[in-house]
Structure 1
Amino acid sequence: MSVLADANCAICRRKFDSNEKAFTSSGKVYHEQCFICCQCLQPFPDGIFFEHEGRKYCDYDFRILFAPVCGDCGEFISGRVIKALSRNWHPQCFRCEICKTSLADSGFVKSGNRALCRKCNAEEKQRKLNMTICKECNGIIEGSDFITINGQKAHIFHFDCYVCGKPLTSHGFEKDGKTYCLRCYDKMGVPICAACKRPITDVHIVAALGKSWHADHFACAKCEKPFHGRPHYEHNGLAYCETHYNQLFGEICFYCNQAIKSDKMIRAFRKHWCEDHFRCSSCGSQLTLKSKFFELDLRPLCKKCYDRFPSKLRKHLKTRMGKSGN
């Protein structure tokens, strides 16, 4: 008696003919025509497939749907993934922004939105340090304890407050050729930047969120890039650029994983799609909510592709598809 005599296909639940070819995987048995990728419905090239949440995918569709994309070369990543700066990287692509040395195993220093090796980071700090020279004593100015007089920086301890006469020990300010301590300067009614808590002495002032800001300090709460006149969006007392406001608080397209503008969004199968990305999962033809389409593995399938399925398989797939949309 054949071993398959009492077995049922894990997909269609039908019995096997005595001489019928069968496939086995994870303790289950499949007809040859049922052992296919659940995304493209094609046999697995060279017998290679991947499983995810109980479904089997061919190598191509598995990469498209689930593999991370490298933040440098834009290619899919298989094997080891480096996660840094809110992105994924091939180990060989994750390099110092300046000297291009590999950072995969040596560690890195975050500088702004860049990854630097420790040597380049130290050299960059040294270059910045060497550029800040006191105009009074020609000494190196460290930190923020300096005052700018006629466009040149100087240690604050070289000056006294014009109002109270006390030596400036921290946060000295200059206006109309005179120097002031923070307390006396605040009494003059000068607006204070909500970001750095320092007076705004130039004409580049931004009023937003009920506060005043230096133009370079009024920035997106996510990417920290100044708006400089570009539109900003407010949420819970913080300002965001359009991209990150949509990413954090808008809907994300199931296909491209990008934020969707509200007037370009399609909702289907409990998911959201960009208007241009709502396409047949088999032939790629454009669909709308007015099109005739079916559900296949929680993705849209046009009627033309559905009608091309083998009749034996179509009956089974129809059960899995559920109701069609209009």
Structure 2
Amino acid sequence: MAEPRNCSECNDSLYGQQFILKEELPHCIKCYETLYCDNCIACKQLIGCASKDVLFKNQHWHGKCFLCTRCNQSLVDQPFATRDDLLLCSACYCDEFSAKCHACLRVITPGSKKMEHKGFSWHENCFTCKLCQETIGTRSFVQKEANNYCLICYEKTFALQCFHCMKPIISGGVNYRDQPWHKECFVCSKCKQQLAGRRFTSRDDLAYCFDCFCNLFSKKCAYCTTPINGLGGSKYISFNEVQWHKECFNCKKCCVSLVGRGFLTCNNDIFCPDCGKGI
């Protein structure tokens, strides 16, 4: 193939000159750079044919301009990262943005295994029990005053013992009569339902849920036979040691309310004076 004599753009002679073929057409260096070379995103100057062109995310840099924004180290053929469109070498990125170990205060490099809890991070080998210094790993632990303890050390050192089962209380304890209880151990003496977070009362040193206490110890309405518990300040009527809910104190026959009115009784039934005639 004969050597081309002239540039296909400017028609200057290429005899004895460097040239570049583009789509089989010869171009002198000047025309080729003007038509096809890009400007450096950093220095805004043309990246000539003699310069290294670094391409990243459709943007171009001179090789000498492809630098870490923080330390100015060359990133050519080196691992790097970006943050807010800034180029950073791995060391600067880790120092600026990676989590630091709560124990040794060193950077936890991306990709390395780390442990996290309540906003803090640790190297896997730094995540240890404050007392025995054993690595906690994925085992259960308790955090107290910013220190981590394996369950065995925590139970020996800090945990209260449940008044009922005498086992350590790790979390979710209940205090009753100045005694610590597990939530699951603090139950109604009758129905055995947990009492934590529920209305309850006690009798003879035994705790009862409200329903069981009413069924066991409250007076019963002579009409509906359900307990009269006084919940919400409700009132009741008492006569000759017999009690009624206020809303149940009605004539047995005509059902008219007898609250504040005269009435007659027959056994545990009550009647208004009109219906009571002839009883």
TM-score (norm 1): 0.37
**Larger gyration radius, structure 1 or structure 2:** 2
Q: Does 1 or 2 have the higher relative contact order (CA < 8 Å, sep 6+)? A: 1
The two structures have a TM-score, normalised by structure 2, of: 0.43
